[in-house]
């Protein structure tokens, strides 16, 4: 039984999808005006864990991740480069997808672009106008919060206490109520970006795209909607208002939000300039799998303070984990140890029990590390057979559908090197340790490490 902490009810709740065994999942995606930083990727890694774990538990998951390719930042970015909005955002979408691949983020079933769903947005706005939830003011269209009594139910915000920001956009002065939000922005000729639609010439506000694209691909009511905590208000609050006002139905059952990535104790953000992009870290030589592991290994609702030191720790963990996995290759014993199967079952139960509990990853990983230790003990005692190798590998591969931290390398050695290894083994048997050590050193310089085990000599590439 899976439980999730639902921001809407502020409680952990048993998860039960609308349609049995099918989960419809909407995850707020990037605004493609620049490189995403790893704070952004924390959210996407969390969503990846959610996506993969639901599949691991036997659900068919239909996942949408939107691409915001029209807003102030993308428009300004394209303008300053002197290229079209499309050309500009295409560039960053391509980079974003490459970054996702580096972090092994499973591609969502749909990655719709806002600019390709203007009609769907217009339809919702028309409904809202017709039902009296929206109004025109000076060519723009706003949502009237006062018409939607449950406004604030997600964020728990008290409308009367909202402090109106000092920076107020010019057309926001035109709203009936400062707290109302824009659905459709009247054209600004100088921006050079607009659509001619039934509701006028202009471009969409930010929030409406998520309502339009989620409902198009997932239906008017769906199971899970995720994002960073900074999206709770106003973005998700507004999505609920406009969607539920338009359809009269409950929009989303479970709202999951992940905490921020901090750097030196502060939120990592573009505006603070304290961010690392994935590329920054890769250029410094860090392993993307370790970055994935680091972002994955802290519970998603806890703030994660990012440091290069913790990334180095993560690298070691990933390295050890992979060496364990690869080291399973060699084992000469014929006998089968039934205890190992029991330990695998125990580890699997732990893994599922904890991840079922609101994706509580730390103890879930802990149960895997306990298994590794047990296996190592059996291994070094020589109580580990060939079929045990197979079952442990299969288990590690199975949970790797969720974790995705195994680095499968095409590992093969040239004839020459294999012969050298054989030669060294022969020398060792003949107690010619000088020669054996020489060969070991030669191979070490080529990045091939040798380890003598009770089962024979094994090698690994650095």
Partner RNA sequence: GGCCUGGUAGCCAAGCGGGAAGGCAGCGGUCUGCAAAACCGCUAUUCGCCGGUUCAAAUCCGGCCCAGGCCUCCA
The nearest distance, CB 402 to RNA, in angstroms, is: 16
Cα–chain center distance at 27: 9
Q: Which of 332, 319, 290, 330 is nearest to 450 (CA)?
A: 330
Q: Which of 151, 216, 220 is nearest to 181 (CA)?
A: 151
Binding mask of the shown chain, residues 75 to 114, with x at each position contacting RNA by CB under 7 A? ----------------------------------------
**Of the residues 87, 176, 266, 423, which one makes contact with RNA according to CB under 7 A:** 266
Residue 71 within binding range of RNA, rule CB under 7 A: yes
Binding mask of the shown chain, residues 268 to 297, with x at each position contacting RNA by CB under 7 A? xxxx-------------------------x
179-198: which residues touch RNA (CB under 7 A)?
181
The nearest distance, CB 231 to RNA, in angstroms, is: 4
| Helix segments in 20-117, DSSP class H | 38-56, 72-81, 85-102
Bridging pattern class, strands 60-65 and 22-27: parallel
**Of the residues 2, 15, 26, 42, which one makes contact with RNA according to CB under 7 A:** 42
3-class DSSP assignment, residue 10 = coil
Binding mask of the shown chain, residues 110 to 149, with x at each position contacting RNA by CB under 7 A? ----------------------------------------
The nearest distance, CB 251 to RNA, in angstroms, is: 17
With beta carbons less than 8 A apart as the criterion, state whether 357 and 389 touch.
no
Buried b (16+ CB within 10 A) or exposed e, 180-192: bbbbbbbbeeebe
Stretch that binds RNA, among 53-61, 160-168, 192-200, 401-409 (CB under 7 A): 160-168
The nearest distance, CB 226 to RNA, in angstroms, is: 8
Q: CB-wise, 18 or 372, nearer to RNA?
A: 372
Residue 313 within binding range of RNA, rule CB under 7 A: yes
Residue 230 within binding range of RNA, rule CB under 7 A: yes
**What sign does the dihedral 99-101-105-110 (CA atoms) show?**
positive
The nearest distance, CB 41 to RNA, in angstroms, is: 8
351-380: which residues touch RNA (CB under 7 A)?
360, 362-363, 365-366, 369-370, 372-373, 376-377, 379-380
**Of the residues 58, 167, 190, 462, which one makes contact with RNA according to CB under 7 A:** 167
**Of the residues 175, 235, 292, 326, which one makes contact with RNA according to CB under 7 A:** 235
The nearest distance, CB 109 to RNA, in angstroms, is: 19
Q: Which of 389, 394, 369, 390 is nearest to 379 (CA)?
A: 389
**Of the residues 39, 108, 112, 200, which one makes contact with RNA according to CB under 7 A:** 39
- Binding-site residue total for RNA (CB under 7 A)? 85
The nearest distance, CB 21 to RNA, in angstroms, is: 27
Q: What are φ and ψ of residue 255, in 5° steps?
A: -110, 120
Bridging pattern class, strands 261-263 and 266-267: antiparallel
Q: CB-wise, 133 or 293, nearer to RNA?
A: 293
Q: CB-wise, 247 or 360, nearer to RNA?
A: 360
Binding mask of the shown chain, residues 423 to 462, with x at each position contacting RNA by CB under 7 A? -----x----x--xx--x--------xxxxx---------
379-398: which residues touch RNA (CB under 7 A)?
379-380
Alpha carbons 269 and 229: distance in angstroms, whole number: 13
Q: Which helix (H) or strand (E) holds 291?
A: helix 288-296
Bond into 234 cis (ω within 30)? yes
Query: How many Cβ atoms from other residues are within 10 Å of residue 7's Cβ?
Result: 22
Residue 331 within binding range of RNA, rule CB under 7 A: no
**What sign does the dihedral 388-391-396-399 (CA atoms) show?**
negative
**Of the residues 112, 202, 234, 385, which one makes contact with RNA according to CB under 7 A:** 234
Alpha carbons 180 and 200: distance in angstroms, whole number: 19
**Of the residues 208, 232, 256, 344, which one makes contact with RNA according to CB under 7 A:** 232
Q: CB-wise, 11 or 60, nearer to RNA?
A: 11
Give how far Cα 295 sits from Cα of 57, 213, 288, 330, 408, Å: 22, 28, 11, 32, 21
Alpha carbons 61 and 76: distance in angstroms, whole number: 36
With beta carbons less than 8 A apart as the criterion, state whether 232 and 7 touch.
yes
The nearest distance, CB 69 to RNA, in angstroms, is: 12
Alpha carbons 121 and 251: distance in angstroms, whole number: 16
Looking at residue 150, what DSSP letter applies? T
With beta carbons less than 8 A apart as the criterion, state whether 199 and 141 touch.
yes
Residue 202 within binding range of RNA, rule CB under 7 A: no
Total residue count of the chain as it appears in this document: 462
């Amino acid at each position: 039984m899976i439980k999730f902490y639902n921001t809407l009810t502020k409680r952990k709740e048993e998860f039960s999808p609308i349609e049995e065994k099918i989960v419809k999942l909407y995850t707020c995606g990037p605004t493609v005006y620049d490189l995403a930083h790893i704070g952004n990727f924390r959210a996407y890694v969390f969503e990846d864990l959610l996506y993969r774990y639901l599949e691991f538990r036997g659900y068919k998951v239909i996942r949408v991740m939107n691409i915001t390719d029209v807003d102030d930042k993308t428009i300004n970015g394209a303008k300053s480069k002197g290229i079209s909005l499309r050309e500009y955002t295409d560039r960053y979408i391509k980079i974003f997808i490459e970054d996702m691949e580096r972090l092994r983020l499973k591609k969502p079933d749909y990655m719709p672009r806002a600019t390709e769903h203007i009609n769907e947005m217009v339809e919702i706005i028309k409904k809202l106008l017709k039902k009296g939830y929206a109004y025109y003011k000076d060519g723009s269209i706003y949502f009237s919060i006062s018409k939607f009594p449950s406004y604030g139910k997600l964020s728990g915000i008290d409308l009367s206490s909202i402090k109106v920001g000092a920076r107020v956009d010019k057309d926001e002065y035109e709203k009936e109520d400062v707290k109302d939000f824009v659905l459709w922005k009247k054209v600004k000729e100088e921006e050079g970006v607009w659509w001619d639609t039934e509701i006028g010439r202009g471009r969409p506000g930010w929030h409406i795209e998520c309502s339009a694209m989620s409902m198009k691909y997932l239906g008017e009511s769906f199971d899970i909607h995720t994002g960073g905590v900074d999206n709770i208000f106003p973005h998700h609050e507004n999505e609920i208002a406009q969607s539920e006002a338009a359809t009269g139905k409950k929009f989303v059952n479970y709202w999951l939000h992940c905490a921020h990535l901090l750097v030196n104790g502060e939120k990592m953000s573009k505006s603070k300039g304290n961010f690392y992009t994935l590329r920054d870290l890769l250029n410094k030589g860090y392993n993307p799998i370790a970055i994935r592991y680091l972002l994955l290994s802290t519970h998603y609702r806890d703030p994660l303070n990012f440091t290069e030191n913790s990334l180095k720790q993560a690298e070691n963990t990933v390295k050890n984990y992979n060496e364990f996995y690869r080291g399973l290759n060699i084992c000469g014993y014929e006998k089968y140890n039934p205890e190992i199967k029991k330990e695998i079952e125990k580890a699997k139960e732990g893994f599922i029990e904890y991840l079922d509990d609101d994706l509580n990853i730390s103890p879930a990983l802990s149960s895997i590390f306990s298994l590794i230790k047990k296996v190592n003990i059996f291994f070094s005692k020589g109580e580990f057979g060939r079929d045990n190798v197979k079952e442990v590998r299969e288990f590690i591969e199975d949970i790797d559908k969720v974790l995705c931290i195994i680095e499968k390398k095409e590992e093969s050695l040239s004839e020459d090197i294999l012969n050298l290894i054989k030669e060294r083994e022969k020398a060792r048997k003949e107690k010619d340790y000088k020669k054996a050590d020489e060969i070991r050193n030669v191979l070490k310089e080529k990045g091939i490490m040798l380890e003598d085990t009770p089962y024979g000599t094994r090698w690994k590439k650095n």
